[in-house]
Chains A and B, each alone.
Chain A
Amino acid sequence: MCTVCGCSEGEVSIEGHHHGHSHDQHRHSQGSDSEADSHREVVVVSEGDNLHFGQGPAHAHAPGLSQSRMVQIEQDILGKNDRYAGQNRQRFDAMNLFALNLVSSPGSGKTTLLTASLEKIKGRCSVAVIEGDQHTANDAERIRATGVQAVQVNTGKGCHLDAHMVGHALERFDDLSGGLLFIENVGNLVCPAAFDLGEAHKVAILSVTEGEDKPLKYPDMFYAADLMLLNKIDLLPYLDFDVEQCIAAAKQVNPDIEVIKVSARSGEGINEWLDWIEQHRVARIQRRIEQLNGQISLLQAMV
């Protein structure tokens, strides 16, 4: 991965995004040649004296015996993604853009549900979609066919979108102030749970052609989501799917998760889902108003 901007070399492609820098130009230097040479000489001597190399717990290591030393860093490995996600969240808030991260397994009907939703939303406010898939721009083309702007992010071998990709994709859109952004993640119920994109909420989509126990099989995703959309309910008469058991499984993992039953094909539940979006969009703006009022009060007290 590129250490300057975080791009994975060669694998990720964002429609319309081209790098202005060569990835070869900013590899970290491992020190000048002379430093490296002198360092190597010391290491040869010290390695002979050091009986603790590669053994024993960190705290038993005696400093001064060799060139090697202990460094306490206590750093979160996903910290870099989280920083990018924080930047995205600030940008979303500054634009009053309500962003949702749609996650599911492949084939749950995310894109069909999204196009059905967009047909009802478009024209009411500015809307955009970021489509994540390993390959092809098929989904972005399906979104654009509804008249809504979309950017396809191809992750190559990657199994999830990360916050850095979303930040770049956001640059491709026209003004989205006061609007809605749907981020359709790569179809995968595992990895996208670990990567915050800066969204307001994760929405998990589960279709009734899958198993009722999927929330228990993939608990991290249903724990991370605030809403579960139970899709394809028009097929229930033909299946043995137990809706109540499925909802109980989701609540076992995440007692606070909300559930809406929908069908992209029949349109059932779509209005309820759009109402959910509107309620949470307004609630987020209300929270921001309270925060800003708090800041204003603090500033007024200082004058």
Chain B
Amino acid sequence: MHEMSICEGIVQVLEEQAVSQQYQRVKTIWLEIGPLAMVETDALRFCFDAVTRSTLAEGARLEIIELPGLARCLQCAKSVTITTRYDACSECGSLQLQVTQGEELRIKELEVE
């Protein structure tokens, strides 16, 4: 259930940004999440409403942009799509993959007022 901590982290970022970016309320939040970010998006949505209550993001819309997972194969040097940590290279079957994208867990953009 660390989705709860992640939501608290989101609210912290929003509160810090509210001071520097001069806004009072957050209306929409766009998150970028990769398949290897260790986050269950349904659980995140569930926690989000509870955590944002009585904050500057109360009632805000949560938009989740799901990024694909990518890795470079150390055997055949091709770039392949992955969805889990234990995927094999779809080209040569090697398990020696270096993840290049998919661990993202970041706030990309906000609609504020």
Among the stretches A76-84, A235-243, A282-290, the one at the interface with B is A76-84
| Residue B53 at the chain A interface, CB threshold 8 Å | no
Is the Cβ of B27 less than 8 Å from the Cβ of A70? no
Cross-chain pairs A/B with CB under 8 angstroms, 13 sampled? A1-B9, A28-B15, A28-B56, A35-B24, A54-B27, A68-B112, A71-B111, A75-B13, A75-B106, A77-B9, A80-B13, A159-B2, A253-B86
| Residue A73 at the chain B interface, CB threshold 8 Å | yes
Q: A residues touching B (Cβ–Cβ < 8 Å)?
A: 1, 3, 6, 8, 28, 30-31, 35-36, 39, 43, 53-54, 58, 61, 66-81, 158-160, 162, 190-191, 193-195, 216, 219-220, 222-223, 251-255
Is the Cβ of B9 less than 8 Å from the Cβ of A70? no
A39 proximity list for chain B (CB < 8 A): 24, 113
Q: How far is the CA of A69 from the CA of B28 in the complex (A)?
A: 10
| 7 tightest Cβ-Cβ pairs between the two chains A and B | A191-B2, A219-B85, A68-B113, A67-B113, A1-B8, A71-B110, A77-B9
Is the Cβ of A74 less than 8 Å from the Cβ of B110? no
Is the Cβ of B86 less than 8 Å from the Cβ of A53? no
Q: Which residue of B lies closest to A249 (CB)?
A: B86
For the A-B complex with A193-B38, A253-B86 known, give 4 more contacts whose Cβ atoms are closer than 8 Å: A1-B9, A43-B113, A73-B108, A75-B107
- Closest Cβ of chain B to A34, distance in Å, is 13
| Residue B90 at the chain A interface, CB threshold 8 Å | no
